[in-house]
Structures are given as C-alpha cells and as structure tokens.
Chain A
C-alpha cells in the first residue's frame, strides 16, 4: 500500500481549471495570478524621451 504525499511547494505558474467559456475568460483567468504578483511588486510604466 502506498501513501500519496502531496507537496506543499507552491507552483511558480498559475493552476487553472483548464476549460473556460470563452478565450477571453481563459486568458483573464490564466494570467490573474501573474497580474496579482505584478500588482504586489508594483509596476510603473515610464515613457522615455525618444527625441534625444
């Protein structure tokens, strides 16, 4: 008899349920953890001066 051992190591990539009603919903759900992570780190988009 074997015991199943579940790892509690968090995944570095999002887990998804796989199937979604629309591509837009799949895309949104897929990237939700990434966007939450970026929001936590903070991100400011800066436009550089391209005229120089």
Chain B
C-alpha cells in the first residue's frame, strides 16, 4: 500500500494516533485502539475531534480525502502490532455504508494485506477468512503468527 497518507502523532503507548485531515477543510482526527475485556482483543475506531476536545464517531466530514484517511489508518496497524504483536484488532463502520466502504477498501488491497496480516470477516455468528464480495458486519486483523479459535 504505497498511497499517500497523513503524518500522525503516536500517543498513549501506540494506542492513539492523531492527525489532521486536510481537504476542503482541516479536520482533526484520532485513530484509537481500545483494550477490550476479551484477552488480546483491541477495538479500532476513527473519530473526529473538536476544538473543545469532544469527539464524534459518526460525523461525515465529506472532506474529499477518505482514501488517504484509510491508508493512514492502515499505516497505524504496523505500529500497533509492533507494540502488541499477540493482539487482534476488531472494527466496523459507524454506519452500514461505512462498513461497506471498509469492506471495499480491504478487498481492493487484500493481496497486499494478506502478505502481512490475517483478516477475518464477521458474518452473523461466525468468523470467516475475509473474501471479496462477501458481506460482513465487522472485521478482525492480526499478524500472521496469530489465529483465532
């Protein structure tokens, strides 16, 4: 994945990455990995950050740079996994259309992603190795040395 991405700040032991989305406007954003109650499972979220420090996960910025943002999120994976190599990341879109957007983006880069990561889709009550053109409600990423049982 050699597309352009935003420079970001690494915060909170590589669990938070802040950057500025620069399109029609400048929008501060955070990528956050949150430890869950399931051992070694972290959730991933992309949120907008307002001047007062509050945040919004569902705001549609329409800033014209979604691809660059998704590449930026992907860039943080390697830093996260360097620090938490035994972990799995779980995420989904804040709306069904965003989940679909993530599915399309993963499908587009699947060959490259699979060189480094295992990817699963959540389909109802099961996890399946990610396949193109299948609908999923969420996604799981891990290093190749990790599997799920």
Contacts and interface: CB of A to CB of B under 8 A. Distances in A.
Interface of A: 11-14, 16, 18-31, 34-35, 37-41, 43-48, 50
A43 B56 CA distance: 28
Q: For this complex, into which size category does the number of interface residues on chain B fall?
A: 35 or more
A31 B96 contact: no
Interface stretch (B1-9, B45-53, B69-77, B109-117): B45-53
Shortest 10 CB-CB contacts between residues of A and residues of B: A27-B45, A31-B43, A27-B32, A26-B55, A44-B149, A23-B30, A23-B55, A45-B40, A30-B57, A46-B147
Contacts, number: 135
A15 to B, nearest CB: 9
Nearest to B136: A12
